[in-house]
Amino acid sequence: MTNKSGTPTAQRGDSELDACKPAPLSRGGFNDAAVLPYGCTLAGIKAAMQDYLEFLEFVNCALHTKDIARLESMLMPANFSSMVGEFMTANIPKHCPSLAKNTYHNGHPDLVPAGKFPNDAAQHSSEGIEVKASRYARGWQGHNPEDCFLLVFVFDSSRPNDAAKSVPPRRFRFVEVLGERLKKSDWLFAGRKGESRRTITASVTKSGYDKMSANWVYRDASLLLPE
């Protein structure tokens, strides 16, 4: 029995089930020389990444039993990336107690030194770690140029439009993690003109990327995305 594309349904089901199980973290993929601030540790980041892999496998396997698409195939790409980042923000403090999730609504940065601010709530501070997750190897965006430590989790996964493009299901995988303290000069601000309603953004420039790449935290060379 085949589907409209001619792919045997049993084969399609097997490949979807395989894709429910994320690729494991690379042995030896963590950089012991990486410098991390505020008591953040390699072990803590590794544990939080492993938490996410187990969470995603649990959810996707449960969805598969109901013939429901995997999260990365269901959610809009930006929403899925945001979920990865939010998960890391929520779970790193579990393994690095010197850090706390910023409890201020839309506060900056995402993680703050535990106990530094009342109720761990900071509307805006240069003290702490901003966390992002992205499918892209560089050019990450924020809303404003910031002086802060930026930690980016780069990953690869399926997308919602893959099926329409006949792209086979693939397993979620962490490609690399980069982090460094950036200055405002490491960002390129892109405002808006006239009556434009585009979201105001700032992008990490080559200088910022070079700093972060030199202080890489995790890297799996066999999985690196093309630049």
**pLDDT, tens only, 74-102:** 999 999 999 999 999 999 999 999 999 99
Find how far residue 160's CA is from the centre of its chain.
Answer: 17
Query: Does the residue 30 lie in any domain?
Result: no
Which of 107, 115, 114, 161 shows the shortest CA–CA distance to 131?
107
Pairing status of strand 141-142 against strand 129-134: unpaired
Q: Is residue 80 part of a domain?
A: yes
Q: Determine the pLDDT at residue 196.
A: 47
CA 179, CA 73: separation in Å to the nearest integer? Answer: 28
Q: Which CATH number characterizes residue 129's domain? A: 3.40.600
Provide the pLDDT for residue 127: 94
Which domain covers residue 162, as residue numbers?
9-22+35-221
Query: Would 137 be classed as within a structural domain?
Result: yes
**Residues of the chain below pLDDT 70:** 1-13, 142-145, 190-200, 223-227
How many structural domains compose the chain? 1
Query: DSSP H helical segments within the chain, as ranges?
Result: 9-19, 42-65, 71-74, 77-95, 206-214
Q: What is the pLDDT of residues 158-187, one digit of tens each?
A: 999 998 999 999 999 999 999 999 988 888
